[in-house]
Amino acid sequence: MISNHFEPFTRLVAPTLAILVVTATPAAADRDMLAWLTVAMLADAEEGGEKQKQEEKKNKEEKKQEDTPKKDPAGEEKEKPAKPEEDSKKDKEKEKEAVEAPKKKKPPPVFHLHDGSRISGDPLLETLSVDTAYGSLTIPKEDLVRVRFAEEEDPELQSRVAAAIENLKSEEFETREQATLALQGFGAPALKKLRKALKSDDEEVKTRAKKLVEFIEEEASLTQNPEDEHSMPLSGSDDEVVTVKFVIRGKVAERDFSVTSKYGDFQLHRKDITTIVFQEFTPTELEFQVPANHSAPSNNWFVSKITLKKDNPLELTARGQIHLHNYGWTVGPAGTTNVGQNHFQNFPAAALVARIGPKGKPFLVGANFKGKANATGRLMLAIAYRGGSLSGSFTVKASVKPDDDDEEQSGKDKADTKSSAKAKN
C-alpha cells in the first residue's frame, strides 16, 4: 500500500498516470504489470479519500461538541469557558461601570435638641476639638459617629433647687410641702442635689429626698423613650464623643454650630443640643458599667449602645459588686436568694438582668449569659431589686455577632473609613 502521506497526490495524478503508462508501454507483460499498478494506485486513492472524509466528519463532530454547552450530572448546562481575551474585556467593562456608577450619598448628620425636635443638616466644620484630661484632641469630621453633650447647669435654677432642699428641714409643715412640690416641678435638673441630700443628717430631708428621687426617675422613664438615648440628657460634666475607633470623654471646644441644609442655613448653640448623630455605627463588642441606681422594678434601665436583631448570638459577662445597705450585704452579678421581699419577677435579688427593647422580656444575665437575642432592639440592663438602698456597679462586657448582611456592611464601612485623630501639641 502507498503511504498515506502521498494520498492527496495519488488521488489527483493516478488516473492520468495510468492512462499514460498503459498507452506508452509496448510490451504486453509490462502493460499488465502497469495496469495492476494503476488499479492498486486507484484503490489506494479511493481508500485514502474515504479516510479523509471520515477524519473531516470526526473533526466536525468534535467542533460541534465544543460549541455546545456541556451538562453537569444534575442535567444543567455548564457555561462554555471564556477565552482569556473575553475575560479581560469583561473585567474592563465592570471596572468602567464601577467608576461611572454614582456613589450612594450618606445622609446628613441629625441634631437632637432638648425640646425633642430633630434637625438634619451638615455642620460647617472639618474637625472637632475635644479637651480631655490627657490633652486636646482633633477629630476629623468623617471619623465622628456621635457627640453627646453633658447637660449644662443653669446657675439660677440650681440656686432655687438648693433653697428648696434647705426648706425641707423647716419646722413648718406647709413650707416643707411647698418645697417638695417645687422640687418635683424642677424635675431632672434637681436630681444631682437631691442625691446628695440622701446623705443628710436630717431624717426629714433624707426621707423626702429619697421619695423625690424615686418620683423624678419614674417620671423620666415614663416620658422618655429609653431606646432613643439621643434625646436623653447625658449625666456628669463631660461630653461624650464616639468615633469609629474609640470613645472620648471631655469637653467639646465648639460652642456654636453653623449648619447648612436643603431648607437653608442656621445656627445652633450647644446648650440647645443633646446629641449630634453623624453616622449610624453599631459596635459588636463593648464594655460598660451598670450603676446600682438602674432599677428594673422602677423601669430605670441602663440603655447600652448595642443594637440587636432577633436571634443574633449574644454573650454577656459581668463582674463587680452591689451593696445592699438595708441588709449590710454585698452581692455579685448573680444576686442573692436570701432576700424574700425584694425580688423582681422571681429573679434573685440584686441580680443583673437584661431585656432587648423597651417591651422586651427580661432575662437573667448574672455573671455570664450566652444565647440568642429574643427580640430586636437596644440591649438594656438593670438591677433586679425592689426598694431599699443600693450602691456600687457591675461592669459588663457585651459581644454580639451580626448577621451576614450586617457583617458584610460592617466590613465595607471599616474598609472605607480611616481614623486619623491627632493630638494637638
**Domain segments of the chain: what residues?**
4-67, 155-223, 283-401
Beta-carbon contacts of residue 66 (< 8 Å; ≥ 6 apart): none
Q: How far apart are CA 406 and CA 280, in angstroms?
A: 12
Cα 246 to Cα 144, 240, 242, 254, 287, distances in angstroms:
10, 11, 6, 20, 12
Report the candidate in 229, 241, 262 with the shortest Cα–Cα distance to residue 358.
229
Cα 116 to Cα 225, 275, 362, distances in angstroms:
11, 11, 28
Q: How far apart are CA 155 and CA 166, in angstroms?
A: 17
Report the candidate in 331, 409, 418 with the shortest Cα–Cα distance to residue 366.
331
Beta-carbon contacts of residue 207 (< 8 Å; ≥ 6 apart): none
Q: Is 391 helix (H, G, I), strand (E, B) or coil?
A: strand
Q: Is 190 helix (H, G, I), strand (E, B) or coil?
A: helix
pLDDT for the residue 245: 83
pLDDT for the residue 227: 46
Q: Could you report the average pLDDT of every consecutive run of 10 residues in the chain (425 residues)?
A: 48 50 49 58 61 71 62 51 58 60 73 86 94 94 91 84 94 94 88 90 93 82 54 75 88 94 90 87 78 90 86 93 89 89 82 92 95 90 87 92 52 41 40
Entry pTM: 0.44
Q: How far apart are CA 17 and CA 358, in angstroms?
A: 106
CATH class of the domain defined by 283-401: mainly beta
Cα 425 to Cα 11, 135, 137, 241, 418, distances in angstroms:
97, 8, 9, 20, 22
Contact 301, 355 (CB under 8 A): yes
- CATH architecture assigned to 155-223: Alpha Horseshoe (1.25)
